[in-house]
A and B are shown apart, each in its own frame.
Chain A
Amino acid sequence: DIQMTQSPSSLSASVGDRVTITCRASQSISSYLNWYQQKPRKAPKLLIYAASSLQSGVPSRFSGSGSGTDFTLTISSLQPEDFATYYCQQSYRDYTFGQGTKLEIK
């Protein structure tokens, strides 16, 4: 099985901050990496697919990069509605999610 490790597990930041979340795969997954945002009691929402492609309707302050084993999700200027939990997911072989990164207001 391919393991996905996110860091940090939690993060405190302020509105307007630039935030980066990292995700590491236990083996190379090329660019088969997706990012999701989840708010409490809601289904996950796709933000980024194929490592760096922005899903339709997602604000451009979200961006993704990386390939192989190391990936990042960046939010360029945090907005109040961005405080949520973020998950990476590999789709190279079956599907595995990272453990999540909870983004909280400082």
Chain B
Amino acid sequence: QVQLVQSGTEVKKPGSSVKVSCKASGGTFGTYAINWVRQAPGQGLEWMGGIIPMFGRTNYAQKFQGRVTITTDESTTTAYMELSSLRSEDTAVYYCARIKSGSRGDMDVWGQGTTVIVSS
């Protein structure tokens, strides 16, 4: 049974960067995609991008192109999402989620979420 455990709350200054981790346990890391979805306070869900560790292939939402970098470390079965040039509008809960290989893109396992607060 795959579980995703994310790093803790981050408080950042505008203009800085944040790197959130998502550690996977169970399953075979690398054979499924890890995606990142964020949720601003009181708002809906927004897909940011994803990676297939086995191939190292990334796919980013156009809105975040150039500002987000998603990576993995297979030795520690951990995925990372780094967001740069932070602004107040990036204050949100950031989730990692798994998409199984061969599925139709449904996100069946989610991390618990990481709160990122951007404030001067």
- A residues lining the B interface (CB < 8 Å): 1, 31-32, 34, 36, 38, 43-46, 49-50, 55, 87, 89, 91-92, 94-100
A91 contact from B44, B62, B104, B113, Cβ within 8 A: B104
CA distance A98 to B47 in the complex (A): 11
> Chain B, 86-120, contact with A by CB distance < 8 Å: what is the 0/1 string?
00000000010101000111111011110000000
Q: Known: A43-B113, A95-B35. Is A55-B108 also a contact (CB below 8 A)? A: yes
Does the CB pair A32–B104 fall under 8 Å?
yes
Does the CB pair B104–A94 fall under 8 Å?
no
Contacts of B108 in A (CB 8 A): 46, 49, 55
Contacts of A87 in B (CB 8 A): 44-45
8 tightest A-B CB contacts, nearest first: A91-B105, A49-B106, A43-B110, A95-B47, A97-B45, A34-B106, A100-B44, A50-B104
B27 CB to nearest A CB, Å: 15
- B46 adjacent to chain A (CB < 8 Å): yes
CA distance A96 to B46 in the complex (A): 7
CA distance A98 to B45 in the complex (A): 8
Number of residues of chain B lying within 8 A (CB) of chain A: 22
Contacts of A100 in B (CB 8 A): 44-45
Does the CB pair B106–A97 fall under 8 Å?
no
A46 CB to nearest B CB, Å: 5
Contacts of B95 in A (CB 8 A): 43-44
CA distance A76 to B104 in the complex (A): 25
- B9 adjacent to chain A (CB < 8 Å): no
CA distance A69 to B106 in the complex (A): 17
